Structure 1
Amino acid sequence: MSEKNNGQATSGTAVAGLVLGIIAVVSSWIPIVNNLSFVIAAIGLILAIVGVVATERGRRAGKGLAIAALVVNLVAGGIVLATQSAMSAAIDEATSGTVSTDDVSVGDSSDASASDPGASQQYAIADVSMTGDDYSVTISGTFTNNSDSEVSYVQLSYRLLDADGAQIGTAYANTNNLSAGGAWKFEATGFEPLADVASYELADVTGF
């Protein structure tokens, strides 16, 4: 690729820098892959700078090519940073409304907080009890959305424990589109005989 111009060869570093810059630009829009694109652009930028210096000093031809390589690699790096910033913002927005166990206060009908469940938190569980038969158990209660926005999905899970405190099963319940201020009367079902379940405890709350 040594093209002659007034007896001088075209700068190989400028050509290599431009090629790397084009590769970096093409791949800079692809999530995860653009981490490598940034590295490629950085290498291409260095080669472009070397090419510019060489052409400025008259040792090589292709000054325009070197400048183009410089610009393309700078653009590629900028696209990578902008794309990753946008992805980060989108992820933060998507997870900002998630529900976890830490967001939920738990009370029962004998607790003074049950009359105003979750007064200091966005979500609350109250009036929990267990029923069942020879085939399954049901953990019933009320989940209240005290936040000012709808929850698209919520899932509760309870550990089912035997008389020794060992876990012998899990009971699950879930619902969709719980409105702001709304209450959900849940029934978490586990497939263990009631006689085997001595107690239960809240294991997890997830949602978004």
Structure 2
Amino acid sequence: MAASTQGASRPVASIVALVLGILALIVSWVPIVNNFAFVVGAIGVVFAIVGAIGVFSGKRVGKALAIAALALNIVSIVVVLGTQSMYSAAIDDAVNGPAATGTSQGGEQTTDLAVGTTVELENGLTVTVDSVETGLANYDDSTVIGVQVTYVNNGDESASYNVFDWKGEDANGAQENYTYYASAENELSSGTLAAGGSVTGNIYFKDGTVKVLYFGTVLADEPAASWTLS
């Protein structure tokens, strides 16, 4: 025989759990703040369990309320975990740029590539080091190296390009941004490529540069691809 609910008290714990669950679910979609939602949801689960125990022992009324509160808090926790993974991936893409998927020949190597090799990124953008010109005389009698690069956007969305996506590396591993060349022609600048668009430009590096590195974004720590100039 089911326990009688006559004289059972109000399900305060379940009500508290329901309120916490609603709050946690609302906040669970907000980046950074959803860490707070996880804590609120966890506390809500505890209150919901306490409420459910009271209901099933016959000391409280509101079985449906207790179950709803428990489910709501669990859902909020699941949403927090899911959104944090999504936001982390988005931040990683924003900082490091899309990863390279392989060379134009279908291989997996994306480092120490030969000049003329194309690398395709996950967003459909391809980048190529087309040609290298050494021994260019600068205004101060120093010499620089000219590197021609091409971007092609084969993706469905716009993609950015920027001269600061590139660095030159010398034989000692020192990496530097482009250098000034007084007689520069068709210098690569920065902008956005629409789907299907392409842009070609020149980047100039100090004499002694042995590699050019493509970083995807100016904030990336590691290059997505590299080409050997020799």
The two structures have a TM-score, normalised by structure 2, of: 0.57
Residue 105 of structure 1 corresponds to: 113
Point out where structure 1 has 5 or more consecutive residues left out of the alignment: 108-116, 190-196
Residue 171 of structure 1 corresponds to: 178
Matched, 1:123 2:121: no
Residue 186 of structure 1 corresponds to: 202
Residue 152 of structure 1 corresponds to: 160
Point out where structure 2 has 5 or more consecutive residues left out of the alignment: 102-109, 121-125, 180-187, 218-230
Residue 146 of structure 2 corresponds to: 140
Q: Distance in 2 between matches of 1:137 and 1:170?
A: 16
Q: Distance in 1 between matches of 2:139 and 2:20?
A: 69
Amino acid at match of 2:211: L
Cα deviations by residue, 1:42-65 (Å, 9 ceiling, x for unpaired): 331232122122122211344444
For these two proteins, the number of residue pairs brought into alignment is: 185
The two structures have a TM-score, normalised by structure 1, of: 0.62
Q: Percent identity?
A: 30
Cα deviations by residue, 1:137-160 (Å, 9 ceiling, x for unpaired): 643121134774575214322257
**41-50 vs 83-92, which deviates more?**
83-92
More helix by share: 1
Structure number with bigger Rg:
1
Q: For the Cα contact (< 8 Å) 1:99–1:207, is it kept in 2?
A: no
Residue 57 of structure 1 corresponds to: 57
RMSD of Structure 2 on Structure 1 (CA):
4.2
Q: For the Cα contact (< 8 Å) 2:29–2:79, is it kept in 1?
A: yes
Amino acid at match of 1:139: I
For the structure 1 residues 198 and 34, does the alpha-carbon distance in structure 2 shift closer, same or farther, using more than 3 Å as the test? closer
